[in-house]
Amino acid sequence: MGTSQTHEQTRPFTPRRWLRGGHVQTVAGFLIPRRFHLSAPDERLIEVAPGIQVLCHCHWQADRAHALTVIVVHGLEGSSDSQYMLGVTEKALASGMNVIRYNQRNCGGTDALAPVLYHSGLSNDVAAVAREVIARDGVSRLALVGFSMGGNIVLKLAGEWGSQAPPQFRAVAACCPAIDLATSADALHEPANRIYENYFLWALRRRMLQKARLFPDHFDVSRLRGIRSLREFDDKVTAYYCGFTSVDDYYDRASAAHVVERIAVPALLLHAANDPFIRITAETRRKISSNPNIIFVETEDGGHCAFIGTPVGSPVGSPAGVGNGGDGRYDDGYWAEHEIVNFLRRF
């Protein structure tokens, strides 16, 4: 689909007044504080590889086995406490779903668990969590949701599973997925996007220094010298420590673009044409459009993982964040979160 096109199963996105434009939406999505009402989760460490655990915050319905279980994956330097993670969790819980807020390796305060880094290709980690909850909790229906880097990971896993996925796997949804890693990393280095790149580099450097303090025999902080772009960081650090031969090898092997045509369950991809730094190439768009399982919605506005519209109704006495703005129930204006949950209600 092209710019501003919508699908019959989604509502058009209209940005909130005074919040128009890709940069404005993106920054507002990061800076505007939000309030959430979530009960305390079941914290669970799940082994995803020998000696490597990730932290999951699990929210269960009373009958967890029969509710749709949604595993939600955050973006670069995010965590299970990122606002979009909490927002989609609140809406999914109010719709009767189980939600597992997944922290990627090292995220959510878990740096000390193992001398490893995380990267955009770790779809096998999410697969391990899916297998765990299917086996341990007896969940009968499973869906994956991802934002940005997490969107790439869940789409990559769905494509790798293809027609051989666990029978419980029903759907996948991704918001602003970094599905073409190389082109998006290069877009991040454009002058207009340096504010975002500098933030990511600051956070990644801080994490690398923390890992080196915890595991001094495993990490060499001198590799951080002279890094001025995300591509350079991924070349000198991510690729080096995560088993890739180079940054090009990493971006190529970790990008979900190579497997989207193999996704065999219903999939929803939400993308804003004015996302400052996520780029989807023409070749990848052709692969997406050729897969009848994928609904691709590209809006004119929305920025990166923001999509802040106008709230509708009153939150008083309403299930938090539930509704589509047309049925009398409260809509907090966070369009992408609503559309993802509305999509998942079918399963």
Q: How do residues 297-325 score in pLDDT, each as one tens digit? A: 999 999 999 999 999 876 654 444 444 44
SS3 255: coil
* 10 pLDDT above the threshold of 90: no
The per-residue DSSP string of 26-48 comes to HHHHHHS------PPPEEEEEEE
Residue 164, judged by CB atoms within 10 A of its CB (0-12, 13-18, 19+), counts as: exposed
- Asked if 186 and 102 sit in the same domain, the reply is no
Classify residue 5: in a domain, yes or no: no
29-67 residue pLDDT tens: 999 999 999 999 999 999 999 999 999 999 999 999 999
Q: Do 175 and 199 have their domain in common?
A: no
Model confidence band, residue 296 (pLDDT cutoffs 50, 70, 90): very high
CA distance 110 to 163: 34
| Same-domain pairing of 176 and 292 | yes
Dihedral, CA atoms, 337, 176, 118, 108, nearest 10 degrees? -30
Residue 206 domain boundaries: 181-254
Report how many domains make up the chain.
2
pLDDT, tens digit, 9 for 90 and up, residues 90-146: 999 999 999 999 999 999 999 999 999 999 999 999 999 999 999 999 999 999 999
What would the pLDDT profile of 186-202 be if each residue is shown by its tens digit? 999 999 999 999 999 99
Question: Chain-centre distance of CA 235, in angstroms?
Answer: 23
218 & 167 share domain: no
* 265 and 134, same domain (yes or no): yes
DSSP 238: I
Q: What is the pTM of this model?
A: 0.94
125 domain residue, yes or no: yes
Two tokens, residue 305 = 């993982």
Is residue 233 domain-shared with residue 313, that is, in the same domain? no
Tell me how far apart the alpha carbons of residues 243 and 287 are, in angstroms, rounded to a whole number. 28
**Based on the domain organization, do 95 and 217 belong to the same domain?**
no
Considering the domain architecture, whether residues 247 and 98 belong to the same structural domain is answered as no
- Clarify whether residues 50 and 86 are in a common domain: yes
Domain presence at residue 54: yes
CA-based Rg of the chain, rounded to a whole angstrom?
19
